[in-house]
Structure 1
Amino acid sequence: MSKRSKIILGIIAILFIAALIWFGKKNQKSIVEYETETPFRTTIVKKTVATGKVTPLEEIEIKPQITGIIDKIMLLEGSKVKKGDLIATVRVVPNEQSLISARGRVDNAKLRLNNAQISYKRTKNLFDKGVIARSEFEGVELTYNQAKQDLKNAQNDYQIIKRGSAGSGGSANTNIVAQMSGTILEIPVKEGDQVIQSNNFNAGTTIASIADMSKMIFEGKVDESEVGKLVKGSDIEVSIGAIEGKKFPAKLNFIAPKGTEEGGAVQFKIKADVSLDDKFFIRAGYSANADIVLEKKDSVLSIKEALLRFDKKTEEPYVEVKQADDTYKKVTVKLGTSDGVNVEVLEGVTEEDQIKIWNKASKDSKKKDN
């Protein structure tokens, strides 16, 4: 072999070795090491949030017992009252036709009484002389007494229509008093307004609404998909929009047996007794949210939901577990309760397994790439 041929072969060998070294380094750069996490034990609480408001447990509306005009309002909204306190007075404006009719009944009752009185006196004289029997006299006496009572009743009716009362016994018709102790929430009328009494055909005009502000309840709505998991008597937490950073404990005491459709979804009403804090004044109608625990599991094996992937064909959840040779194996897992961040793992992985964090390479691999 000539010297020139040896030189050419040497150059080819050097180039071949250089190529092998270059390809080796290139392959080494392509290896990406992913960060991993291990399963852990934690408490998972699944909650739902019900939106609603806080309202008084006991609230009543005060309505007049007679039609008239508000003469005077004694108290203001927000005032504390006791049962029987005077809130307002009503001035009666009698109906002219009813007044004339009542006056006519009084006059007729007087005529009957005068006639019965004459008959009574005549019969009494005859009875005193022994002309008639006692039974006949007692019949005439009864008619006379009934005529006196009829006149009294007619006069009372006339006074009620004219003044709204028939003496001291009828003062409640024109005096609007509190029917319970509490706080006046609203007085929707003002002096001079006409009011109508409540009857079988009309609910009547509301003069005031009173509530016991020391007993409040939460009223909210829950979706049909979650109402089946609620248990009457469960403890919940109520957050009031107007009071930041404070949660009031409450106890669920009512779940509606019938739902109402709102926006294409069926909602069920719930109620809960709220335990108040003396440091905060709760106003009726405050908007509020209730955190309701649907399911709670203590110290269960869990992983972060971000570690999960789902098979495109079977839609089963899986993770990738690191093997001894630094490769990753696809492992199907069976899941339990989730709180939106962590999820319970029933089968598939153990506490020692290292699970791949998707799309997050380790710092060392990043440095190698650079």
Structure 2
Amino acid sequence: MPYLSKFLSLKRNLFILFLLSTLVSGAQTVRKYSNEFMNIGVDAASFGMGNAVVASSKDVNSGYWNPAGLVNLEDKQISLMHASYFANIANYDYGAFAMPLDDKSAVGLSVIRFGVDDILNTTQLIDEQGNIDYNNISLFSTADYGFTFSYARELPLDGLNVGVNAKVIRRIIGDFASSWGFGLDAGLQFTRGNWNFGLMARDITTTFNAWSIDEDKFAEIQGAVEGQNQELPESTEITIPKLQLGVARQFIFHYDYSLLAEVDLNFRFAETNDVISSSLASITPSAGLEFGYIDLVYVRAGVGNFQNIQQLDGSDSVGFQPNIGVGFKYKGIQVDYALTDIGDQSAALYSNIFSLKLDWSIFR
């Protein structure tokens, strides 16, 4: 029993330290990485192309990738996606709806949820006398929600479209803390022949999150670990802007075969682990290919998220995220699958991503 008590105590302390770091890191004034669940991506077809779709996205999922692409809609569309990360510990879900208003404008609405459910709260497992009481174990969930309203419109210059997003962010960490946030995105797309160009500026207003922290709960978990600071962290969080530039081209072979290729550059205005990094900005590229046959079957491959990684021996290496995928489209129904490595090519776990897109044209 002494060994069990020590093990449970260690497990409890690790949980508390993790929770404290989450609360504190999520409430700093300015963060290089905040609201990162909004940067994971959506749609298995886009994942299959390494998330290099800012120039070529022209469907309901454009509300996320580049709202300017929504003007290409001919009818109403809905999209659903589900993915599990970290051996099914975390669930990532997405749903979107978009429709044209007229032949020059369109609107869209999307919802993202990234959550870890049924987390064991063991802060009260061991009482003041050192006795273990399993009845004191409780469950809680931590979840991040993103609600996005999109509007797109054609501009007088032929081939040039513009779009904007208004985002509401809701983050919940059990009964310990929660926050509300608001931000804006803006996007442009320009088409000339078979060439497509895209620009997506995320969090152009430096998305602001205001945290509400339960002082009693916070003091309770801090008091469970000796020597912890009892001061509450700052209650505001600012997400710095990000910029994505892309160029894409589609090739048609013998009428039946198509090839879509795109290359993107992703900018963060902070020094990070991206493969190109400075105090002014950091840049990581991404690229994707989509091979199609008679607009029915698609095969995709992509790579992105190039990061500088320091190994245990002190040496540096470059990690990246490879992706592959397939898709099937019949009339207005499209089903897509992607296999993606969420970290680098050798260390991280692979994730299976499924998505469904439905076009209202199938009802006519």
TM-score calculated relative to the size of structure 1: 0.17
TM-score calculated relative to the size of structure 2: 0.18
More helix by percentage: 1
Higher relative contact order (CA 8 A, sep 6+): 1
